[in-house]
Amino acid sequence: MACFLVPAAEAAVVTIVEKAVSRREKEPETVEMELDGGIEEVEKIPFSRKLRWLSNLLWGGALLLMFEHLWHGEVVPWFPFLTAAADPADAAVMLHEMATVGVTMAVVVTAAWLCMIAAASVIEKRAVKTVPAAE
Amino acid sequence: MTLLVTVFAAVISTAVWYKNAPENEMKTGILCWMYWGASLMWFVDAIYEYAELGAEYFSPAPADMLNDLFLGLSVVALGLIIWIAVLLISDPKGVVRASLFRKKKDSERTEGIG
């Protein structure tokens, strides 16, 4: 009914946090890494960039889900925009769906993002480790 | 069916992104984020639906399946429209700018011919 609103709200919060973090971030730390068969000096992935991955996932998914709700007539381009919001009984069902399906969606996307961060960290550590220590 | 179509779109766009990475001139990353985000969300939706319907979830009525397929394809089309709009507006290769604004020498030459 309006489950996509929960990930969309999370996306808005993450975007604000990302902007704040990127403003406070200093020059990204550089490390030597094995890249394209040679040793290159590269910048470590800043946290703001990792936050952008999450906001991209959330915004992208919420946008396409909003289209699905438009398709099913659950979202309309006039007030109150959500057809279920016009009727109190439907509104209760909608809020229950948001609290269950919507929250689970946000949690699953965030969990997938955490897995991505963990994988990126492992790749980064492994690539740095393969570089022979400077004499 | 919508989930299935979106997952296929996500996998294909990721393969295209991987082929061109680390160059990101075509901005295919946008498609990956959109389709993977939607796939994860529809996956959750599918789990809830499965919990409600049980095995019946896997044998939808042909009319529902067709509608879901139509929806899935429309979602993919919407994603592609968003991607092409972002690509043309950001214009990383400068193609749009180059075709809109001709260099002064080129336009003089064209006028001379005409």
Q: What is the pLDDT of residue B111?
A: 61
CB contact under 8 A, B78 and A104: no
Q: What is the pLDDT along chain A (135 residues), one digit of tens a residue?
A: 789 999 999 999 999 999 999 998 887 777 777 766 777 787 888 999 999 999 999 999 999 999 999 999 999 988 888 998 888 888 999 999 999 999 999 999 999 999 999 999 998 888 776 666 544
Question: Exposed (0-12), middle (13-18) or buried (19+): which is B110, by Cβ within 10 Å?
Answer: exposed
Measure the CA–CA gap between B65 and A102, rounded to whole angstroms.
24
Pairing of strands A38-43, A30-35: antiparallel
Residue B15 has pLDDT above 70, yes or no: yes
CB contact under 8 A, B41 and A56: no
* Contacts for A39 with CB less than 8 Å, ≥ 6 apart: A32, A33, A131
Q: What is the pLDDT of residue A80?
A: 85
Dihedral of alpha carbons A14, A19, A22, A24, sign: negative
Domain residue ranges of chain A, discontinuous segments joined by +: 5-129
Instruction: Note the pLDDT tens digit of each residue in A65-102.
Output: 999 999 999 999 888 889 988 888 889 999 999 999 99
| pLDDT classification of B33: cutoffs 50, 70, 90 | very high
Conformational region of residue A81, where left means phi above 0, alpha means psi within -120 to 50, and beta covers everything else = left
Q: What is the pLDDT of residue A135?
A: 46
Alpha-carbon gap: B109 to the closest alpha carbon of chain A (Å):
45
% of chain B exceeding 70 in pLDDT: 90
User: Which range is least confidently modeled, A100-104, B14-18, B88-92, B99-103?
Assistant: B99-103
| pLDDT classification of B112: cutoffs 50, 70, 90 | low
Q: Does A72 or B108 have the greater pLDDT score? A: A72
Helices (H), B1-114: 2-20, 29-53, 62-90, 95-100, 104-113
Q: Does B107 or B71 have the greater pLDDT score? A: B71
For A111, which residue in chain B has the nearest alpha carbon? B40
Closest residue to A58, CB basis, from B30, B37, B42: B37
Residue B109 has pLDDT above 80, yes or no: no
Residue B28 has pLDDT above 80, yes or no: yes
What average pLDDT does the segment B33-57 reach?
A: 94
Would you list which residues of chain B are within 8 Å, Cβ to Cβ, of chain A? Answer: 2, 6, 29-30, 33-45, 47-48, 71, 74-75, 78-79, 82
Q: For residues A53 and B36, is the Cβ–Cβ distance under 8 A?
A: no
